[in-house]
Structure 1
């Protein structure tokens, strides 16, 4: 699976409702529901309820906060990947074939994954400054701020207040997540296709074609904390309400942020957009 099309980055995590839930902004009270076992639990408002709240507060335009820098970021990422691909064309690389022996096929997977990793890391570095701006534009909803009102003004403000490094806060966990995702997805899919799928099975080729897709979903769940930490670092201690207490302490590093979320049991906060269980502190009071 190409890291440029990672599912967990294109299923709502970069829209305002998904990001606000990541930073822990819950303006609406949880509601009582039942889980699959029939037990009563508290659920936080889902995507559509949250979106309606944003429209009520901010109008329909509120749903599109941060859209412009996000589109520019995606465009830069696509252009960069294309440029790197032209500089190091895939045609010069051997692709995995069912006729390859185990050692040969594994070597090809490693080479292809290394190529994908290089493209993704370069495109991530180039597009990350606009990603930071997009996150900050969206999170202003929390404190009703207007500090970041446009792409060019945001660039000037970040450079003035934080310097060049301000454009790359949260970059490291994003890159680590990309790298881990790529290697785990490609290698596990390769071993499944090699050892678990029998060539004598009539639908073997069909199963192999979907293995990476399925593994992409599974691995993206495991690497989601890197995305969360990276996005939180992009807005942490930048002068916006959502990046300051009580939403979060001023983190000294992304590792500090990771440890804090881990201690709070919040490493997967915002990972779901529809069925969102209320955190333990909010669910500690009786609901019967």
Structure 2
């Protein structure tokens, strides 16, 4: 049967891992910036913004990622920039292993009877390989997209506890806690503090984010190939759809990171950083959108505070959002 899921030859371990030594080196070099971005996602801005003029308007400029990493090094040294490095590597490996194993072992065989002229499309990357007057097969795209969503979701769910551990290890930088020191000790601490379901905090927005990155570009690709068959046009529009999806999905990543630290014993999960308790991830998303900080940490270089502000003594001050290092909580500059 062409549309039946059949077991195929087991894939090799190196194929399942989907990660090379070059990827590992690149991830090691860039991890301090990922660590800084994680702190930005959960709402920690240790350096108070500076007033700047932007197209004639006065705004609050936040430090870029390099300044953020430099601040982290000044507090904890270089090793402090690698908090949570081990669980994040394990998290990526686990997600990739599960997705690639299921995809390589149980991939459906729906393409054995594809009509001639309709195989000129790379279904995994959603790119036309050459100009063709025949549009891609709709069933192929739908089945491939659905299968990718299933495998990615499965890998995300299996590896999510490691994601929670990573976020909490990094979040300890704020309050200088030491509960999460290794994967085993972190698992024990989370189970004792939040129970089993604490290992899956923030899972729903992460699943939505990962599936949105697959589903929306595929829908755009399917729609555009119904009208146009030019390779450059189709690939350009699909690439633009991927960029827009990444921008929107980032908000869900911020929500997931925020929900991961909520109600925890860490300082970052309490006031003044979290001014309220969220009933769920949608409540958290709505709150961040109301404050216009749902994209915090997305930019690495030109960062500006876009949340609510007020003027005190002729100076702009943030409202309902805490900015500044925690140990300066009593400082007049950072007490808003």
Taking structure 2 as the reference length, the TM-score comes to: 0.73
Higher helix share: 1
1:150 aligns with 2:168: no
Query: 1:237–1:251: 8 Å Cα contact kept in structure 2?
Result: no
Cα displacement (A) at 1:46: 0.6
The CA deviation at 1:263 is 2.2
* 1:176 and 2:211 aligned: no
- The aligned runs of 1:1-288 (5 Å cut-off) are 15-35=34-54, 37-89=55-107, 92-93=110-111, 97-98=119-120, 105-195=137-227, 197=228, 199=229, 204-248=230-274, 249-282=276-309, 284=311
Looking at structure 2, the residues matched to 264 and 43 of structure 1 have their Cα atoms a distance apart, in angstroms, of: 17
Deviations 1:67-98 (A, max 9, x none): 11000000101110111112322665468635
Which range is displaced more, 52-61 or 154-163?
A: 154-163
The answer as to whether partners of 2:225 and 2:234 remain within 8 angstroms in 1 is yes
Give the number of the structure whose alpha-carbon radius of gyration is greater: 2
Q: Is the 8 A contact 1:185 1:219 kept in 2?
A: yes
Cα 1:149–1:187, aligned 2, differ >3 Å: closer, same or farther? Answer: same
Deviations along 1:79-136, whole A, 9 cap, x unmatched?
101111123226654686356855x622221111101100110000011000000000
CA contact (8 A) 2:213 2:246 kept: yes
In the other structure, the counterpart of 2:3 is none
**Contact 2:73–2:80 (CA under 8 A) maintained in structure 1:** yes
- Structure 2: tracts of 5 or more residues without a match: 1-17, 20-26, 121-131, 317-336
CA-based RMSD of the aligned residues comes to: 2.8
Aligned equivalents of 1:259, 1:214: Cα separation in 2: 26
Query: Given the two structures, how large is their TM-score scaled by the length of structure 1?
Result: 0.84
Q: Distance in 2 between matches of 1:13 and 1:119?
A: 29
Q: Is the 8 A contact 2:262 2:277 kept in 1?
A: yes
Shift, 1:210, TM fit: 4.9
CA-to-partner distance for each residue in 1:1-26, whole Å, 9 max, x for gaps?
xxx99xxxx99798221011112211
Report the count of equivalent residues.
Answer: 273
Stretches of 4+ moved more than 6 A in 1?
Answer: 10-14
